[in-house]
Amino acid sequence: GAVVSQHPSWVICKSGTSVKIECRSLDFQATTMFWYRQFPKQSLMLMATSNEGSKATYEQGVEKDKFLINHASLTLSTLTVTSAHPEDSSFYICSAPARGRAALYEQYFGPGTRLTVT
């Protein structure tokens, strides 16, 4: 099946600094990628849809100036958490749709990035 990687897998940063998370589709091209956030014991929350060559679409309540998304190529989307604060500490996961057993609707997920802001 298709593979999506994320880097880094975990990061600890100081409050006020910015952190960049990369999401790569390794063996397929993805014009669309999705960024999710998961809080402990809660469901995955869609943050934004990353579109190659155009602006990302943010979900209601997600600050676009705080969570900067860039989808500069067909295999790479980046999420930058700017001026991070402890409340931004979470597990961030990206996904990309690709052909699979479920064809049209199957999504492949990255392994996630654990962000801890101190």
Distances (CA, A) of 26 to 13, 40, 45: 27, 28, 24
Q: Closer CB to other proteins, residue 82 or residue 116?
A: 116
Q: Match 């969570």 to its residue by tokens.
A: 67
Answer yes or no whether residue 62 interacts with other proteins by CB under 8 A.
no
* Region for 75 from its dihedrals, namely left if φ exceeds 0, alpha if ψ lies in -120 to 50, beta otherwise: alpha
Q: How far apart are CB 110 and other proteins at their closest, in Å? A: 5
Answer yes or no whether residue 66 interacts with other proteins by CB under 8 A.
no
Answer yes or no whether residue 101 interacts with other proteins by CB under 8 A.
yes
Contact residues: other proteins, CB under 8 A = 4, 6, 32, 34, 41-46, 49, 91, 93, 95, 97, 100-102, 104-112, 114
